[in-house]
Chain A
């Protein structure tokens, strides 16, 4: 691990406004790991855990999560589990209980890819070292993305809960020295394009302070289905976050997003459109799921993901219909 200076600012005002060599420490489950690997080498680490960025609040407007709330606490919150089961399920399907006790929701959204080349400083990686190349394009790319990729980068975004939040139209509140702004989580992440090292719209020294989820009464009928190589403690090969509003046997509204297949948490508006107004049954779901893989670019070892994505979406939708 490279040397850094350490401080624990007493206020949000004192914490924000640093430069790109400053890192914020919350749960540390990504940051400390990647600092040990020397993938991340901040010269200054600001421990933000004492800042008043807490709270799990549900109201008429929806849900507000303070950025420092831990994954386990959000998952265990009765109102979250009842009103947004897709969020609670995505959190509980993530990592291990120790990591869920440590990791904050803000930090979860800031996770870095699990691409093995990104995590190995002895090999090139455009995301870690712009312009150095992408060994994953022709290398070991079974877990990699099929949607949103570019010649420069094919890494997936690893977060489960971000997929649920994108499906629910969540926004993040950001704070820097200039003030506060709110950004849709779907717009927060940047697809790699020619600049994969730019992962999101955060400015240097800018801090995620809150996650806001709008009210959506029919999100009570939502699910997070995660497919992985192990039953537990593993990242998604493919996942689907789905909410379904069925009225009179027809789909009145649907939210669908996918994980493990995209370079960012991947909302699927074409699938949602293909569901709306149609009978709530398997044929509809299968036809809609075919929309998910349009434009997919499979790599040498992950062509299976296009089939897996369709089936994951269909199974998630069927599981909700069964509860109708």
Chain B
């Protein structure tokens, strides 16, 4: 269904530019994946798939090598760089985004398989302001270098919403898929607790 989706983004100049950049970037990435030579490049081009990505309320149609992950599509094609590439192996959580409202790892998701709405940290703010979980991270000083923070926030939003999770132990269990090299864990737990108390 998504690949035959007729939606195009001709209505918005901004999105059209994204689509154009995506097409250009596709050629660049084929090279960066280590495929060299005209024959291979042609073969790779034949294998491109059309992907419609709905990211933070904006729909974009891309032609992608099917190897492209959602993380690379967001960062390299759509310039949505909130999701970070930490391990790129599904172990650190820095790439956490929401698909259909649920946290997933963008680095282990093939972009071509995404059928539902994608929300990144860029898309969680409300009315131009911060999401309560973002504000809680600031209030509780829940980061140091900040590299893991956007992924932490995407998991924390789901954690704060989940009424079955109440204790600090339950918060820590829920947040265990997001690794923080700086060790801000106690402040992250406090931020989730604050967000739960304030309602999200």
User: Which residues of A are in contact with B by a Cβ distance under 8 Å?
Assistant: 1, 3-6, 8, 25, 28-29, 32-33, 35-36, 45, 47, 49-50, 72, 95-99, 101-102, 230-233
Q: Please name the 10 residue pairs, one residue from A and one from B, whose CB atoms are nearest each other, closest first.
A: A96-B177, A6-B66, A232-B176, A233-B176, A101-B102, A32-B108, A1-B67, A98-B103, A47-B113, A98-B177
Q: Complex formed: what's the CA distance from A232 to B155 in Å?
A: 15
Known: A6-B47, A96-B93, A98-B104. A28 touches B113 (CB 8 A): yes
User: Is B90 a contact partner of A29 (Cβ separation < 8 A)?
Assistant: yes
Query: Quick one: closest A residue to B97, CB to CB?
Result: A98
Note all chain A residues with C-beta closer than 8 A to B90: 29, 32-33, 99
Known: A6-B66, A29-B90, A32-B110. A98 touches B33 (CB 8 A): no
Q: Complex formed: what's the CA distance from A1 to B49 in Å?
A: 16
Known: A6-B47, A33-B90. A102 touches B108 (CB 8 A): yes
Q: Complex formed: what's the CA distance from A25 to B90 in Å?
A: 16
Shortest Cβ distance from residue A224 to the other chain B in the assembled complex, whole angstroms: 15
26 example contacts (A-B, Cβ-Cβ < 8 A) are as follows A1-B33, A1-B67, A3-B67, A4-B47, A4-B67, A5-B66, A6-B49, A6-B110, A6-B112, A8-B2, A29-B90, A29-B105, A32-B69, A33-B89, A36-B89, A49-B113, A96-B176, A96-B178, A97-B103, A97-B174, A98-B93, A98-B104, A98-B155, A232-B172, A232-B173, A232-B176
Q: Complex formed: what's the CA distance from A295 to B16 in Å?
A: 66
Q: Complex formed: what's the CA distance from A96 to B105 in Å?
A: 10
User: Is A3 a contact partner of B158 (Cβ separation < 8 A)?
Assistant: no
| Residue of B3, B44, B69, B110 with most partner-chain A CB within 10 A | B110
A-B contact sample (15 more), CB < 8 A, given A98-B103, A99-B105, A101-B104:
A1-B33, A6-B49, A28-B108, A28-B113, A47-B112, A47-B113, A50-B1, A96-B177, A97-B174, A98-B93, A98-B96, A98-B177, A99-B90, A102-B105, A232-B172
Note all chain B residues with C-beta closer than 8 A to A233: 176-177
Q: Complex formed: what's the CA distance from A96 to B159 in Å?
A: 12
0/1 interface trace, chain B 83-113, chain A, CB 8 Å (1 if under): 0000011100100100000111100111011
Tell me the B152-167 residues at the A interface (CB within 8 Å).
Answer: 155, 158-159
User: Is A5 a contact partner of B47 (Cβ separation < 8 A)?
Assistant: yes
Query: Quick one: closest A residue to B35, CB to CB?
Result: A3
Note all chain B residues with C-beta closer than 8 A to A232: 172-173, 176
B75 at the interface (CB under 8 A from A): no
Q: Complex formed: what's the CA distance from A319 to B109 in Å?
A: 38
User: Is B109 a contact partner of A102 (Cβ separation < 8 A)?
Assistant: yes
A28 partner, pick from B65, B88, B109, B172, beta carbons under 8 A: B109
User: Which residues of B are in contact with A by a Cβ distance under 8 Å?
Assistant: 1-3, 33, 35, 43-44, 47, 49, 65-67, 69, 88-90, 93, 96, 102-105, 108-110, 112-113, 115, 155, 158-159, 172-174, 176-178
Note all chain B residues with C-beta closer than 8 A to A25: 110, 113
User: Is A45 a contact partner of B176 (Cβ separation < 8 A)?
Assistant: no
Shortest Cβ distance from residue A157 to the other chain B in the assembled complex, whole angstroms: 19
Note all chain B residues with C-beta closer than 8 A to A4: 47, 66-67
Query: Quick one: closest A residue to B49, CB to CB?
Result: A6
Q: Complex formed: what's the CA distance from A16 to B93 in Å?
A: 33
Shortest Cβ distance from residue A17 to the other chain B in the assembled complex, whole angstroms: 21
Query: Quick one: closest B residue to A101, CB to CB?
Result: B102
Query: Quick one: closest A residue to B96, CB to CB?
Result: A98
Query: Quick one: closest B residue to A96, CB to CB?
Result: B177
Q: Complex formed: what's the CA distance from A247 to B88 in Å?
A: 52
Shortest Cβ distance from residue A149 to the other chain B in the assembled complex, whole angstroms: 27
Note all chain A residues with C-beta closer than 8 A to B155: 97-98
